[in-house]
Structure 1
Amino acid sequence: MKAREDACVLRYTNESFKSVADLTSAFHVSDTSNSSVTNVAGVNATLWSLMSRLAAEAAVSELRLAKGSQVYKGSKGISQVIYGLAQCTRDLNASECSRCLTYFVEELLSSSFSVEINDAVKGYSCNVAYKIGEDFDSYLFHEKDPSPGTRRTLGILAGVTGGSIAFVICTGTLVCILLRHRSIKAREQEVDVFHDDPLEDNTFDKGTGPRRFRYRELATAAGFFSDEEKLGEGGFGSVYKGYLKDMDLQVAIKRVSKSSQQGRKEYISEVKIISRLRHRNLVQLIGWCHGSGELLLVYELMPNGSLNSHIHSQKNVLSWQLRHGIVLGIGSALVYLHQDWEQCVLHRDIKPSNILLDASFNAKLGDFGLARMVDHERQSHTTAVAGTMGYMDPECMLSGSASTTSDVYSFGVVLLEICCGRRPIVVVQDSEEYATMHLVQWVWECYGRGRIIDAADARLNGEFDGDEMERVMITALWCAHPDRTLRPSIRQAIGVLRMEAPLPSLPTNMPVATFMPPMHHLQRESGATTGSSSGSAGTKHSSITTKTSSLPR
């Protein structure tokens, strides 16, 4: 059992959780009622820089706490201060604290609107938060000891609370023992989590190809989900390595957190969509299980993990030949999703952690938890904002209108990341100071100077085909053009990458796109990522009050 109120946490269980970060629960708390921010890129770049620094400082702090601030300039040249806070529970060592904070910072920034003035993600092991224009002096995560005058009162409260907690723990222990005996029997039976929605269950069983497994089959295959078999952990569950004896097949089994409403939604979306798709560059869904109170997805095992784990590795540098093949593989998958399948599939979360690599380093796009199907005539879907900051089309982030062009934007950012070996937000030195900017902006500046090859990953030591590198990076800039009406379709982009069409003519300076955001509340939908992915367990609303928004260079 777990419960929290502001900065207070109460937990009890029959299993030890001390010194292990809990990443399964993340709660968003935000306030957007007071004012707005118009400098989208400036705020996002500053937030990434500030929160990443605080996460690193908190992990090595004795109190597991760090606070700080950083200045950014608004679109009218007015400076404002962003205050940030990062904190872990003190039972975590530096490594576990860093793991928790790194994940929560991504949760905080990958799903936040640019207009939010006060935002936080709180969990049971760590918390991260930022405020624009207001310090954290009144924040509830205190690092100071109580004053002498309050210690007597606190002692009385501690005694009363301690007795109450002891009673609750004893009662809870008895309940856990009873539930444990019941759960053993329940595992033998298929108790459907969709018993209240038979239509959902019938829809699942209509799928062809992937099969429905029983819980015991998958639990046995994954060593009953032991830590030794764990491959990774995301916002809505963990992924385990498994072996299906009857199929003589190594698989990856994703155990979705059944307590998360968003995790349940993404589970349904994943099965409904990916079970119907067949392409060599898409991760294959082997089967699924939503019996015995569990949500399980079974995929083909990708021996080389995600692209994210390779593209930024200092030890094993991917050759240009492998990178170029990955670029074409991702593009081929998107052509199938956008144009060649019976309906248009919008992925909405294209990023390196959702691109998996098989034994031969062939790229396969996965994680369809945020995907949506639309008719080919529409090719757009107005919905809650979803995706990962840095890869999201800025206009989509404000309007909530996902489309094939927003997928193409994400594709362009990923191509630049593959070519440059840099993350979407880069740090550059300006005189004696360091500044942050988006990767698209940085590469476009190199392009404007006629030195786009300078942006190539230095770890390649020049061992690449210069014409191919230039072609991929220019195509990437075309895909990430600030004006979505000037972006190519994915088929046009692939034509250029395969040298079937000439390079596009782009302006020397990165254009500034101006658009009108909708004047209504948008509900934010989290981006999850198992591959990394990435998502949060809550929802929030944001009121956009600006009349026009510009995407600065």
Structure 2
Amino acid sequence: MTLTAKGISISDEDGNLKWSTPSLDSGVGALQLTEMGNLVLLDQFNNTLWESFQHPTDTIVIGQQLNVGTFLYGAASDNDFSTGDYRLAISGSDAILQWHGQTYWKLSMDTSAFTNSNYIVEYMAINRTGLYLFGLNGSAVVVQVVLSPSDFRIANLGSSGQFIVRSYSSTGWKQDFLGPVDTCLIPLTCGKLGLCTDDASSNPVCSCPSNFHGGLQNMSGCLPSDSSFSLPIACNSTKNGLQSNSSSVAYLRLGYGMDYFANIFSEPVKFGVNLTVCQDLCSGNCSCLGIFYDNSTGSCYVLEDQLGSIISNTGQSSLVGYIKALVRSTPPDGKGGNNSNGTRKFPTAALVLLPCTGFFLLVAVGFLLWGRWRLSKRRDIKLGHPSSFSSGDLDAFYIPGLPKRFDYEELAVATDNFKTQIGAGGFGSVYRGTLPDKTVVAVKKITNLGVQGKKDFCTEIAIIGSIHHANLVKLKGFCAQGRQRLLVYEYMNRGSLDRTLFGSGPVLEWQERLDIALGTARGLAYLHSGCEQKIIHCDVKPENILLHDQCQAKISDFGLSKLLSPEQSSLFTTMRGTRGYLAPEWLTNAAISEKTDVYSFGMVLLEVVSGRKNCLTRSQSHSVDDSNSGGGHSSSSSGSGLIYFPLLALEMHEQGKYLELVDPRLEGRVTYEEVEKLVRVALCCVHEEPGLRPNMVTVVSMLEGGMPLCQPRLESLNFLRFYGRRFSEASMIEEETEQNDLVLYPQANASTSSTPSDSRIYYSYVSSQQISGPR
């Protein structure tokens, strides 16, 4: 090892460079090993240039953090310390073991792990009491594994693919934690296609499945017993080998009572299909190396890119596995049919028959393809979608993480040809559908994306589909055929918040409102700080907050603004964030940030408190009298009977009359302190200057009670008084117009109103459903 002004370099005995630190910003002045074990390079002013804690390989120690988006990589073997195929990844919700990108274990699966899904993971660390996944800047524990106290502990990803935590004491090293415990869950325990059986002593027993044989002693895996078959290599492999499209394909059955490590972590590529369809899907995909088929549900799982070990499943299972094999054109040993010189004899009959057979085979294939094309065209006409559709229009490229892809025909059948519409908005209409496995879904038929390319569309869908949180509506799949764009979401059986909050049904109790507010805040906090790519929603409002059982709130339509072209986006931003939810920066063309969503959330929070729209006439509200609505305050109401509720909330805050703001239907069932908390948080969120608004992680903490409530800055809320006056002016203009049976659209013609242009946009009387929701 050599230390120079350029950094550290390590060479072998012959002087060949094996490793070095990356290029540094300035010259190295010193090397320091801290008491925590961190190796640090310093410049002449003692500024840190490089540190080993920020560049882990396969191990972390106490005091070191493994942040979200970083990895530990296991060594290739116990004697080869180059990077192997196993890695430990930290996501926003878990610590995950992967092999060639395929998940085979999660920390939260372990029986000793305690999980709190209310927070977003920021980093993993070990300390003297255990293994932890922390969130909220280290103040919240998302996953914890409590271990016996130890002052020195390491966490290591071994070359075997197991994640191990060890502690050291006077008696030596002790294993504190191991995951996974069942070694048969590790992808290469028995080599490629080796059958792993876990015996009573937890030691794996390796064998080859029927129809296979091989050398399990050297972990080389299993091969087809019949030498006329060979295993294909995936088309995205860097190695050379036979491709599945270069030979005829057969499937070697594994039989029942077997499973594969990745099946539990992956979704079937198809539901409700027969075995032939499942095999055809694999045959047409050169990266597919095998399938597992569920006879009971018709679910089709594919094994892609790399093949690991097979798991012996002694429990009742309806899964049956098949491994794709290529049929060799000649025996691999070259015997048979050779003359004395070693050259192969070719039968005379074959010279005559083969050309004829090939000709007739080509004719038959031509007729088959022509027939399938005609059938596809008839289906297109029957379903009414464009003739430009192609079932393979997405096969030309591969995007990692892309959710399940549906055919247009599948979704047309699932929705009964888009019969039951359950919503409509700026992006299109939403229909209720039922998949073959009886799962109820919401299918959004997008109509306003212009001519956006399939690959750009799918790239954004891959980002959206990779986001999973308890308070975000899950994207289950998509369809992109021809010019059609459809998204498949989980179905939320209680509809959108606006229907429940403002409707005539049963009143939402205060605890339900608090749960909805907290769930929405957690979802936004995850979008802003828990994703690999920050997502700004841009349209937070009750129509885009959906409710499931027990009023669980989930945010919909996050990330969809990324699907717009620049031209569409510039037009849409003038209409987005409908009346009452637009942050001031939308109107002044200032930079849009996550604080824009914070403003919209604050406005929604005020509506949750009052149970009515922020911009609402008395006649539209439910039993609003002067005492409850603040009708005696001229600044917040006008003779027209219209009330700008955010200004009323500000005035009641200044006077300490929080109970005046509560939904009158909750009279006597909510305390002063409970209302004060929500109103103060809401007012802090709607500060005019984005920098004064709290971030959503802080909002969550205040709502949960883990952080003191912020104090609204009145000087940054004075703009509400201006909006209140403009609202009153606009309402009087509307009344005059209604008397003449006219509908006022201030944004359509500047000459129809004296209201400034920003106010015309802000107080547009186009309804929120006409503009952008619900979706």
TM-score band by shorter chain is 0.5 to 0.7
> Aligned in 2, Cα 1:210/1:249: closer, same or farther, shift over 3 Å?
same
Residue of 307, 322, 329 corresponding to 2:519: 329
Maintained 8 Å contact 1:258/1:264: no
> Aligned in 2, Cα 1:437/1:185: closer, same or farther, shift over 3 Å?
closer
Maintained 8 Å contact 2:495/2:548: yes
Maintained 8 Å contact 2:650/2:683: yes
1:394 Cα deviation after fit:
1.3
In structure 1, what is the equivalent of residue 381 of structure 2? Answer: 183
Distance 1:265 1:426 in 2: 43
In structure 1, what is the equivalent of residue 299 of structure 2? Answer: none
User: What do residues 225-259 of structure 1 show as CA deviations (whole Å, max 9, x unaligned)?
Assistant: 12xx22122233221111111x3311111122268
Maintained 8 Å contact 2:383/2:417: no
Maintained 8 Å contact 2:414/2:435: yes
1:298 Cα deviation after fit:
0.7
In structure 2, what is the equivalent of residue 497 of structure 1? Answer: 703
Maintained 8 Å contact 1:282/1:366: yes
| Match status 1:217 vs 2:410 | yes
Maintained 8 Å contact 1:356/1:365: yes
In structure 2, what is the equivalent of residue 240 of structure 1? Answer: 431
| Structure with greater helix share of residues | 1
Q: Which range moved further: 491-500 or 429-438?
A: 429-438
Maintained 8 Å contact 2:402/2:461: no
- How many aligned residue pairs are there? 332
> Aligned in 2, Cα 1:485/1:187: closer, same or farther, shift over 3 Å?
closer
> Aligned in 2, Cα 1:267/1:360: closer, same or farther, shift over 3 Å?
farther
1:107-186 mapped onto 2 (5 Å cutoff)? 183-184=381-382
Distance 1:389 1:259 in 2: 23
In structure 2, what is the equivalent of residue 351 of structure 1? Answer: 541
User: What do residues 152-174 of structure 1 show as CA deviations (whole Å, max 9, x unaligned)?
Assistant: xxxxxxxxxxxxxxxxxxxxxxx
| Match status 1:291 vs 2:291 | no
Maintained 8 Å contact 2:383/2:412: no
> Aligned in 2, Cα 1:340/1:533: closer, same or farther, shift over 3 Å?
farther
Q: SS of the counterpart of 1:408? A: helix
User: What do residues 19-63 of structure 1 show as CA deviations (whole Å, max 9, x unaligned)?
Assistant: xxxxxxxxxxxxxxxxxxxxxxxxxxxxxxxxxxxxxxxxxxxxx
1:47-58 mapped onto 2 (5 Å cutoff)? none
1:268 Cα deviation after fit:
6.4
Residue of 438, 455, 478 corresponding to 2:684: 478
Maintained 8 Å contact 1:351/1:391: yes
In structure 2, what is the equivalent of residue 14 of structure 1? Answer: none
Maintained 8 Å contact 1:234/1:532: yes
User: What do residues 505-535 of structure 1 show as CA deviations (whole Å, max 9, x unaligned)?
Assistant: 2356773369xxxxxx9xx9xx9x9995744
Distance 1:407 1:210 in 2: 26
> Aligned in 2, Cα 1:266/1:234: closer, same or farther, shift over 3 Å?
farther
Q: Partner letter of residue 367 of structure 1?
A: D
> Aligned in 2, Cα 1:363/1:279: closer, same or farther, shift over 3 Å?
same
Maintained 8 Å contact 1:347/1:372: no
1:408 Cα deviation after fit:
0.5
Residue of 403, 408, 419 corresponding to 2:609: 419
1:389-468 mapped onto 2 (5 Å cutoff)? 389-427=579-617, 429=631, 433-434=639-640, 436=642, 438-468=644-674
| Match status 1:254 vs 2:444 | yes
Q: Which structure would you say has the larger RCO, counting Cα contacts within 8 Å and 6 or more residues apart?
A: 1
Residue of 278, 281, 292 corresponding to 2:468: 278
In structure 2, what is the equivalent of residue 206 of structure 1? Answer: 399
Q: Partner letter of residue 218 of structure 1?
A: L
Q: SS of the counterpart of 2:496? A: coil
Q: What is the alpha-carbon root mean square deviation over aligned residues?
A: 4.1
> Aligned in 2, Cα 1:500/1:292: closer, same or farther, shift over 3 Å?
same
Distance 1:509 1:251 in 2: 47
Percent identity (aligned): 34
Distance 2:672 2:418 in 1: 47
Distance 2:705 2:492 in 1: 30
Q: SS of the counterpart of 1:299? A: strand
> Aligned in 2, Cα 1:185/1:414: closer, same or farther, shift over 3 Å?
closer
> Aligned in 2, Cα 1:211/1:403: closer, same or farther, shift over 3 Å?
same
Distance 2:767 2:389 in 1: 25
In structure 2, what is the equivalent of residue 109 of structure 1? Answer: none
Q: Partner letter of residue 515 of structure 2?
A: G
1:424 Cα deviation after fit:
2.3
Distance 2:449 2:592 in 1: 28
> Radius of gyration: which is bigger?
2
Q: SS of the counterpart of 2:592? A: strand
1:474 Cα deviation after fit:
0.7
> Aligned in 2, Cα 1:510/1:479: closer, same or farther, shift over 3 Å?
same
1:188 Cα deviation after fit:
11
In structure 2, what is the equivalent of residue 368 of structure 1? Answer: 558
Distance 1:364 1:420 in 2: 21
Q: Partner letter of residue 243 of structure 1?
A: T
1:100-111 mapped onto 2 (5 Å cutoff)? none
- The normalised TM-score by structure 2 is 0.39
- The normalised TM-score by structure 1 is 0.53
Q: Partner letter of residue 525 of structure 2?
A: V
| Match status 1:303 vs 2:493 | yes
Q: Partner letter of residue 588 of structure 2?
A: L
